[in-house]
C-alpha cells in the first residue's frame, strides 16, 4: 500500500494552553447527526496544530462572530461573513479538551479544541 503524506500531516496536536497560531485551512461540511452546516478551521504553528468545528447555529454564532472579530473582520448585521477571509490570519487561542457523549454509541469521547480567541 502506498500512503501519500500531505503538507502539515507530520505535525502533532498542540499542547493545552495559550498558543499563537495561523489559520492554515478551512473545510466546510454538514454535521453527521443533525445536518447543521459547519466549517472546520485548522489552527497551526511550528509546534503543531488543532482543528475546531464552528457550527452555523444559534448556539454556534457567538463563537463564529468572536473568531472573525479577533482576526479583524467585523461581523455586521445583514452582511455575510466569508470563511475564505480567515485563511492566513493570526491570533492567539487557548487549546483544551472537551468531553461529550457520542450520539451513535453513547460512549464518552474527548477531543482537543480551540477556545478563547484573542487578537494577535
Interval 70-83: pLDDT, tens: 999 999 889 999 99
Residue range 10-22: mean pLDDT, rounded: 90
Tens of pLDDT along 39-90? Answer: 999 999 999 999 999 999 999 999 999 999 999 999 988 999 999 999 999 9
Higher pLDDT, 110 or 18: 18
Class for domain 17-119, per CATH?
mainly beta
The pLDDT of residue 105 is: 75
The pLDDT of residue 115 is: 76
Ramachandran class of 51: left when φ > 0, alpha when ψ lies in -120 to 50, beta otherwise: beta
Separation of alpha carbons 27 and 35, rounded Å: 16
Amino acid at each position: 500500500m502506498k500512503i501519500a503524506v500531505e503538507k502539515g500531516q507530520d505535525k502533532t496536536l498542540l499542547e493545552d494552553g495559550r498558543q499563537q497560531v495561523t489559520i492554515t485551512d478551512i473545510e466546510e461540511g454538514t454535521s453527521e447527526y443533525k445536518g447543521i452546516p459547519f466549517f472546520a478551521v485548522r489552527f497551526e504553528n511550528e509546534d503543531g496544530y488543532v482543528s475546531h468545528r464552528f457550527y452555523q447555529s444559534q448556539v454556534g454564532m457567538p463563537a463564529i462572530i468572536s473568531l472573525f472579530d479577533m482576526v479583524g473582520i467585523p461581523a455586521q448585521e445583514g452582511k455575510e461573513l466569508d470563511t475564505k477571509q480567515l485563511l492566513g490570519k493570526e491570533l492567539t487561542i487557548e487549546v483544551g479538551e472537551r468531553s461529550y457523549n457520542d450520539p451513535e454509541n453513547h460512549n464518552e469521547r474527548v477531543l482537543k479544541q480551540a477556545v478563547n480567541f484573542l487578537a494577535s
